[in-house]
């Protein structure tokens, strides 16, 4: 069983900016490990601490390549380039995805769990996931990245889902590879 329930849209914790991590201690390492398990079970390619109700600037990711799982603490995106349309989903907005335009390449820096500086030149899916996770740390959901037509449709669908949930229907959980 996943150590955490993933917080869903409507939960105020997803709308609050997270605070900088000042101490990398055993608790933080444990949190990262539990977040990785939660992400794998979801399944998703990234998970930010606010999605498990913790207001710390940290996220985990795993693009299911030979690199395995990673943790980035206090991430900062310092440069962005280009434009890329990608169908993006979010574990906190289950079952839905939208074609969203964001920069294609980003430079992201931060620290790892050993306190070492890390720095990435990322493009495509890695860059997309980094932007999505840093948004979570700023209290921003992908719903804020939709164009006006997509936003209207999203509002309608989310309202219907809320009504359905109120009537006791089980929430649909579609398995999609690009969710974070």
- The residues assigned a catalytic role are 133
Residue nearest to Zn ion (CB): 90
Question: Could you tell me the CA-to-CA distances from 63 to 9, 19, 43, 75, 84 in Å, in that order?
Answer: 23, 25, 11, 17, 18
Q: Which tokens is 110 given?
A: 């931060």
Nearer to Zn ion among residue 89 and residue 110 (C-beta): 89
Nearer to Zn ion, 77 or 180 (CB): 180
Distance CA 53, CA 38 (A): 13
Q: Which stretch binds Zn ion (CB under 5 A): 29-37, 66-74, 84-92, 103-111?
A: 84-92
Q: How far apart are CA 99 and CA 54, in angstroms?
A: 28
Closest distance of CB 132 from Zn ion, Å:
5
Which of 14, 28, 49, 90: binder of Zn ion (CB under 5 A)? 90
Question: Which positions touch Zn ion (CB under 5 A)?
Answer: 90, 180
């Amino acid at each position: 069983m996943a150590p955490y329930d993933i917080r869903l849209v409507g939960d105020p914790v997803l709308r609050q900016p997270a605070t900088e991590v000042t101490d990398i201690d055993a608790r933080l390492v444990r949190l990262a490990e539990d977040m990785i398990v939660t992400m794998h079970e979801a399944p998703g390619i990234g998970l930010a601490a606010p999605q498990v109700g913790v207001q710390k600037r940290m996220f985990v990711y795993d693009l299911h390549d030979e690199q395995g799982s990673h943790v980035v603490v206090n991430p900062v995106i310092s440069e962005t380039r280009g434009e890329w349309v990608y169908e993006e989903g979010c574990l906190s907005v289950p079952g839905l995805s939208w074609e969203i335009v964001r920069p294609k390449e980003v430079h992201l820096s931060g620290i790892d769990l050993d306190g070492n500086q890390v720095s990435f030149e990322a493009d495509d899916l890695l860059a997309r996931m980094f932007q999505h996770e840093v948004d979570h740390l700023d209290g921003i959901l992908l719903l804020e990245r939709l164009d006006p037509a997509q936003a209207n449709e999203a509002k309608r669908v989310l309202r219907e889902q809320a009504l359905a949930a109120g009537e006791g229907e089980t929430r649909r959980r579609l398995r999609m590879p690009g969710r974070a």
